[in-house]
A and B are shown apart, each in its own frame.
Chain A
């Protein structure tokens, strides 16, 4: 059991500069668990946390092939919002948003959730029609959203270029005030710490190399640290979902692509909110550390290489500079890629499979971070009850067979 963080414990340890306990204890796998979660990213750790906290299943292992916070959870641009168009998607993301709003207290870990608002810019008449439709849908679904015009955007963000003499002039935006950002790797650490406090084993540097299936039922997994038995296995391995599915003889309706992001040198505060544009394709915010966090799009080809093409970065930088000419001399510090599993309808799969006891939570594509607590929450209930959580029902893998897709490309296809 880890010590509870409080102002007193921090002050005491800080003054003495000792007594800092390890944030996450390291675990070796036992031979058997009730549930194994494959993938120790935010979604997997959140799943384990809610299994222990809300479903009473504490004999859980999270197996992670790398280290906690080293995958997509620590690679994204940390934007959190719930202004999705479709009822199914907006309910799920709003569920997540409500969990974000109490998450630091719940986990006893400061995830630095900052509700600084998100602007989704519109650059054409059709963009603005789509934005109005989406904002109206949001309001009907109880999600806060407003349409703002270019004058109001300029008032709020004085450094943005609202000139009409550019290729894609800004006409307006949707604005969600409750949206914002969080400290991404802090989210992974917070969930890992809170889950391990409830008895979950977080096993790092442990790669799953095979899944044991007998007579259509999952029996356990083979890992680089030995065999582990479990009747229920939840796979939350993002870009590598197809690789894991293959081990169980399954195919998935996803393809893996590199998604790139980059950060600048740290600067004094200049951008107090999050600005996203689907049309010119870039999104930017400024972290508390002061660096600009900029996200680009995916490469069209399949890849597991955690790097993408320079033209994607160039295209994104051009878009950001058209929106913010003042950034033209900002130097970039780092650039990287993460592997995202993209579904044809830009919505996730949260579902049981043809193999009894094997569940998949995948296909979050370019926008999974915002859903971390909600995704883990509904997936935990889905595994615990062997029945999809109400909010997860529309995200069954069978929708690709029945044709009941959830077309979120307008709100989710590219920018996040």
Chain B
């Protein structure tokens, strides 16, 4: 159990209010028709499943219902950073 600081509500809220929405920065391919089967499989099914500090998407289901980004340790569940999609993308994420 942990709490997440919602970047929109601007306060820490219990994790129960949020739902996880998967690994972050998986962009939908711009031209799916041009993709090989391997590339499509990688986009749809394959995941990094990182053990460590993991960028992921969460949605504040029982609050503002907005999606945002969380960098969270998958080793001890510590929330390290939260950000909106405007603030961070795959280019400047650390």
Contact = CB atoms under 8 A, between A and B. Distances in A.
A333 interface: no
Interface in B8-64: 15-16, 19-20, 23, 37-38, 40-42, 44-51, 54, 56
A401 B19 CA distance: 29
Q: Which one of B23, B51, B56 has the greatest number of beta carbons of chain A within 10 Å?
A: B51
Given A300-B19, A300-B20, A401-B37, A253 B45 contact: yes
A302 B49 contact: yes
A240 B20 CA distance: 20
Interface string A290-326: 0000000001111111000111000000000000000
A17 interface: no
Nearest to A308: B1
A256 interface: yes
A251 B48 contact: yes
A251 B1 contact: no
A159 interface: no
Interface in B66-94: 72, 74-77
B47 A251 contact: yes
Interface centre among B50, B56, B74 (most CB of A within 10 A): B74
Contacts of A302: 20, 23, 49-50, 54, 56, 74
Give chain A's interface residue range (CB within 8 Å of chain B).
20 to 34
Contacts of B42: 251
B45 A305 contact: no
A305 B77 contact: yes
A304 B46 contact: no
B46 A240 contact: no
Interface residues of B, number: 26
Contacts of B40: 401
Contact of B38 (A243, A254, A304, A401): A401
Contact of B46 (A243, A251, A303, A341): A251
B51 A400 contact: no
A302 B81 CA distance: 16
A349 to B, nearest CB: 11
A256 to B, nearest CB: 6
Interface string A401-416: 1100000000000000
A400 B49 contact: no
Nearest to A303: B74
Contacts of B20: 299-302
A255 B51 contact: no
A189 B45 CA distance: 35
Contact of A242 (B15, B16, B51): B51
A250 B69 CA distance: 26
Nearest to B19: A300
A301 B56 contact: yes
Most central of A252, A301, A304, A341 by chain B CB within 10 Å: A301
A252 B51 CA distance: 13
A314 B47 CA distance: 29
Most chain B CB atoms below 10 A, which of A243, A304, A305, A344: A304
Contacts of A402: 37
Contact of B16 (A252, A255, A311): A311
Interface string A217-261: 000000000000000000000001011000000011111100000
14 contacts: A242-B48, A242-B51, A255-B47, A255-B49, A256-B49, A256-B51, A300-B19, A301-B20, A301-B56, A303-B77, A304-B74, A310-B1, A400-B41, A401-B37
List 9 A-B pairs, minimum CB-CB distance, nearest first: A242-B49, A301-B20, A253-B45, A401-B41, A300-B20, A400-B45, A400-B41, A251-B46, A304-B51
Given A253-B46, A254-B49, A255-B47, 4 more contacts: A303-B77, A305-B75, A344-B45, A400-B46
Interface of A: 240, 242-243, 251-256, 299-305, 309-311, 341, 344, 400-402
Interface of B: 1, 15-16, 19-20, 23, 37-38, 40-42, 44-51, 54, 56, 72, 74-77
